[in-house]
Amino acid sequence: MTPKDSLELAKLVAKLPGLRSVELKDVRQLAELLHEYPEIGSIEVKGWFDTGVTVTRTGSVSVPVAFPAPVGPPEPVAHGVPAPAAEPRPVAASTLKEIKSPMVGTFYKSPEPGAEAYVKVGTRVTSGQTVCIIEAMKIMNEIEAEITGVVREVLAEEAQPVEFGTVLFRVDPNG
């Protein structure tokens, strides 16, 4: 975004009711965030009466993400010999659909601390249903399912940082 584009956007925003306090430096900072972090899909600024501007950055930018190896409970030990590992339940990965994080932020399973999770393994979800919250820049973003089915895996942990494209849930659309 050029300085001229930023100035034009700031003038446009200043004309909207309820958004008169937005300054050019703020718009520039938002534009710089979009430029520096291409994984940010959009920045929405809302004022009184739900007026606002949505700035969306589009494009196919691949962001490499490193996932830590899952850590499970320690294996039971009897007389110094580890017990045989339980057979994992086979899951046809090709049939499961993934719900991925659309942004960088912090994952929350429930709307507030101590509340029941939006979904858990075995929950039937429908397209448009809220499945979690991703907090980004102190804004709580409700993440909705884009498919209908049964949640088979919850891959993110409560209050865990997630990256753009991190798989949060796997859903069986045939379930």
Q: Is the pLDDT of residue 164 over 80?
A: yes
Average pLDDT over the chain, rounded to whole?
Answer: 73
Tell me the C-alpha distance between 21 and 155, whole Å.
41
- Give tens-digit pLDDT for 93-145: 568 999 999 999 999 999 998 999 999 999 999 999 999 999 999 899 999 99
Pick the CATH number of 94-172 from 2.60.40.10, 1.20.1740.10, 3.50.50.60, 2.40.50.100: 2.40.50.100
3-state secondary structure of 56: strand
Q: Domains of the chain: which residue ranges?
A: 3-56, 94-172
pLDDT band for 30, please (50, 70, 90 cuts). Answer: confident
